[in-house]
Structure 1
Amino acid sequence: MDALLILSGIVVAIIGWLWLVITSLRLPVGKLLLAALLPVLTLFRRDQGYARAPRLLLTAGCLTLLVGLAMLFHLHPHRFEKLVTGQWQPDQNRSQTIDGEIMGQRFRPERVFWRGDDLVLEEGPSERVRRSLKIRFAGAGALLDDASIALLPNDPGAWPEVIMQWHVGALESPGLRRVTGQYSLNLDFAPAANSGATLRLHLTLPSQHQTWITGEARLDQTPAWLEQVRQQQSRSTAVRERTATAPRQSGERPVARWQAISVLAVLDEPSVVGDAAVRVTTVSGRAHEGRFKGVTDEGRIVLAQAHGPNQVDLQFHPVDIRLLETFQSPR
């Protein structure tokens, strides 16, 4: 409605302006220039020879435009700000491709960064944030033992706290809501080309919150916990490689080894794996070890990992799996 009022007001005002200029051709040059360059001033100059009908049309157009702008400022302050500052075109240099909604409002964060134990997404100027979403891991630090985090409703263990802040309008108080569990979250961190890290995020809250986030973004700085995870993974990989290539002494029992199995075979008949230890290597090169838990109705392979007294279930889409292995005990 606000856009319709603004557009119709502009059109009506332009028609009234042109009509005013045409009817002012018979007037002296000074009055003609005033009608052509500053037509709004003619609305306040009575008995100056200006035609009444085009001035009424110009007035109607200006009033309609002002009403539309007032509605835009009240309902969509961020769009009003972009309009008055001339930022009509989308930013082609956006490094973030994350999109979604917060409490039913469109959410396109310009900044994604890690602060303390929080993953922070913000939309709007840094000095006046319009909407933000934080995923707080302070109470679920065990999840930060891996570069991939997957949570589904009813999963046991500690959950990150999701904190949402938003503005309904310029004249309304900002909203704040906290969600402590029972949502779906997939976070996958990968090294960036030069420095920092790239993350893929999929977050879906229960329907009453009207909130979902999906997409990919870049962190300019690598979080300290993620750097530690990468170092641990590098050391584990090096140990496995040395163990696999080490010469066997005479009479020594064969070492335990990993054996590759078909992903399709596991999807068709999960019982062939049972509850054995498995290792999943993703297409991005990261390896995840745990206990095989089964296959979901959506065809995702579920891997259970123990984190102290808690357990975290990781789900992997078949297209994201480069190698699937089971642990074979020595004979």
Structure 2
Amino acid sequence: MDALLILGGLLLILAGLVWLVMRAFATSLLWGWASLLPPFTLLYVVRHWRSARPALLLSGLGIIPLVVGVALLASKDAQRLEAILSLQWLQPETPVQADLAIDLRGVLHGREFSPKQAELIDGVLSLREGPDFFAQSELLIRLPTVSPGPVRVDVLPSDEGVLPEVEVSWLLPEQELPEARRLSRGYTLHLDLQPVPPNKLVGDLHLVLPAQYKTTLSGKVELFSNGLRYRKGAVDRQFDSADTLSFVIEDYLQRRFATRKVQVLPLGNFSFPQQRIDLNVQARINGELQQLPVLLEKQDQRGWQVADDRFPVLPTVDAAPAVPAKTVISAAAMPERVSRPLDRRVRFSLEGLLRSPSRYQNLNMRATTERGNSAEGRFQGIDQEGRIVLRQRMGAQGEVSYNLLPQEISRIELLEP
């Protein structure tokens, strides 16, 4: 709707200006040519107001939908409006640099093959050409064994036994589905890949299939070894993949339980794009298997993150202060307390909190008093006077602490499992 209003307004303004020039030519040939220049156009309007007035009224009517359309666009998509007003669309497009350096020479099924996507994940090497769901051309090599580190494979046409399976597929313009051919022997393959941090493999690929497949490839390849992508040395949380979600969840659990001994079990497959994903995650935390509900959200600036994640960043190992013996003992007992896979919100009550306060240490709660006031924060324990202590982080302003007597509380809720 906003685009139509803007376009309609611009067309009315343009029509009014064309009509004004036509009126100037009708007055005289000299005024017509002069009205093509903005200063003389204004002079014509002043000298011949009665003749120019209808055209100016038409242009003035075009300003109304133009302003309304711009206001609607600013309220819905300010970034798009800023890009339009800054005239970025007039600038020539800069070529997008490829994420991978692939230099392959040869043909796949008789056609030149220039892949832009490449990965080696779970023993399957994939080279794809084309951004669509069905690739224009694709090469798959399924390796029989997978091991971390360098990858070296040499196959000759006379070799027998368990060999990598090679699959080539292509999609012709007149086809709706791609054609594919597989073979497990009778080909020549040389693959020599070396790992390059953080998650790439770089090396040589030489492949010659039997003559009827019309496929010969040779050159340098660079592949991703997992589903993560990096930007300026950090994981790109904007990239949609199961490995990105697993990284976000692992980082969240490490900060939530204040330990780096966290292993997230495989999450399964996902269909992207999505903005919210609700999961029951299984993870080993300090060696104990737990099942935890996690709600993931994708934001425009920060990418994927866990909803209501307010846990602080873990200190580095070198900067960690010495831990007193008493603290070590309490930390050693923590796995027994947090390793319960059950949701503690189900049977949570004020009586249970007073009876076993250590079970709910550092969990987020909301308490409502008899006067109707509400306090939300992380449970810090019970002080010497029997008051329930909740502490809430206020960003750069610091923290605020609530001390509530149990008899003053009319309702208390546990906000996380």
Larger RCO (CA within 8 A; separation ≥ 6): 1
Structure 2 length as normaliser, TM-score?
0.29
Flag the structure with larger Rg.
Answer: 2
Normalising by structure 1, we get a TM-score of 0.36
